């Protein structure tokens, strides 16, 4: 029998593959939920930043209007030779220009933040697309494996139950006893994990395989 895998080895390999793919599927679903939460937060931040940008622009327009008005007043004062008031106006203009410079810097930082957010969003969208493709491939493999299990171990699925339940039976042929054994099963997926359900089915199949092998103590 060298080079050929026993039924127990095949069962073990298929079981490991199934558990691994189920874990990948769960991780992909968690990743998708985290991405959706990040997208919601990012959209809220973008709206807030846009609102602040509009406010900053309005402040700049107001400051420029004030500066123009002050310059006009300064020209009038110059014509009247009011030196003290002219100095005060120059000081006010200098303050207004400094405020404008500060607002310009803040606006540049906001613009940089928006650009960074857009880059992060694009990267997350690319990752989400890749994750969806990987999830679809995993689901396809799992469905194929379930179909294979059904053929190998005569698992009959009840398709009439709701999506939240799994129901069916396992048909075990016990050859040395010339009998068939039916093992029914039914699970609520909201109460039992995929890992638990998979283990239960494998245990029933494994017990059936043991019954199919005559025990040495029964020999006469």
At residue 220, the pLDDT reads 35
At residue 74, the pLDDT reads 73
Q: How far is CA 101 from CA 51, 56, 60, 94, 137, in A?
A: 20, 12, 9, 11, 54
Q: Give the pLDDT confidence of 209-219 residue by residue, as tens digits.
A: 555 444 444 44
168 pLDDT band, cuts 50/70/90, is: very high
Q: Between 174 and 128, whose confidence is greater? A: 128
Mean pLDDT over residues 150-155, rounded?
A: 61
Q: Measure the CA angle with vertex 126, ends 123 and 128; round to 5°.
A: 110
67 pLDDT band, cuts 50/70/90, is: confident
Mean pLDDT over residues 67-72, rounded?
A: 82
**What share of the chain has pLDDT > 90, as a percent?**
6
Q: Give Dmax over CA atoms of the chain in angstroms.
A: 132
Average pLDDT over the chain, rounded to an integer: 77
Decide: 185 and 204 in contact? Cβ < 8 Å: yes
Q: How far apart are CA 46 and CA 38, in angstroms?
A: 12
Helix (H, G, I), strand (E, B) or coil at 184: strand
Q: How far apart are CA 100 and CA 41, in angstroms?
A: 31
At residue 186, the pLDDT reads 93
Q: How far is CA 24 from the centre of its chain?
A: 12
Mean pLDDT over residues 21-48, rounded?
A: 77
How many other CB atoms are found less than 10 A from the CB of residue 42?
15
* 187 pLDDT above the threshold of 90: yes
Q: Between 88 and 187, whose confidence is greater? A: 187
Mean pLDDT over residues 58-82, rounded?
A: 77
Decide: 211 and 179 in contact? Cβ < 8 Å: no
Helix (H, G, I), strand (E, B) or coil at 178: coil
Decide: 135 and 158 in contact? Cβ < 8 Å: no
11 pLDDT band, cuts 50/70/90, is: confident
Q: Give the pLDDT confidence of 39-50 residue by residue, as tens digits.
A: 787 777 778 787
Mean pLDDT over residues 82-100, rounded?
A: 82
């Amino acid at each position: 029998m060298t080079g050929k895998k026993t039924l127990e080895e095949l069962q073990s390999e298929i079981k490991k593959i199934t558990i691994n793919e189920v874990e990948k599927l769960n991780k992909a679903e968690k990743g998708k939920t985290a991405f959706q939460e990040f997208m919601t937060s990012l959209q809220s931040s973008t709206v807030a930043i846009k609102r602040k940008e509009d406010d900053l622009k309005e402040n700049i327009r107001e400051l420029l209007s004030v500066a123009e008005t002050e310059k006009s007043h300064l020209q009038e004062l110059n014509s009247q030779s009011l030196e003290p008031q002219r100095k005060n106006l120059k000081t006010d203009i200098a303050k207004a220009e400094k405020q404008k410079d500060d607002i310009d810097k803040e606006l540049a930082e906001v613009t940089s933040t928006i650009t960074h957010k857009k880059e992060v969003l694009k990267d997350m969208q690319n990752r989400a697309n890749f994750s969806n493709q990987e999830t679809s491939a995993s689901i396809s493999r799992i469905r194929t494996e379930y179909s294979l299990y059904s053929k190998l171990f005569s698992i009959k699925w009840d398709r009439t139950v709701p999506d939240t339940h799994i129901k069916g039976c396992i048909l075990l042929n016990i050859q040395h006893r010339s009998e068939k054994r039916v093992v029914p099963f039914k699970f609520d997926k909201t109460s039992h994990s995929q890992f638990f359900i998979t283990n239960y089915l494998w245990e029933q199949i494994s017990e059936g395989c043991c019954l199919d092998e005559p025990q040495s103590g029964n020999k006469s």
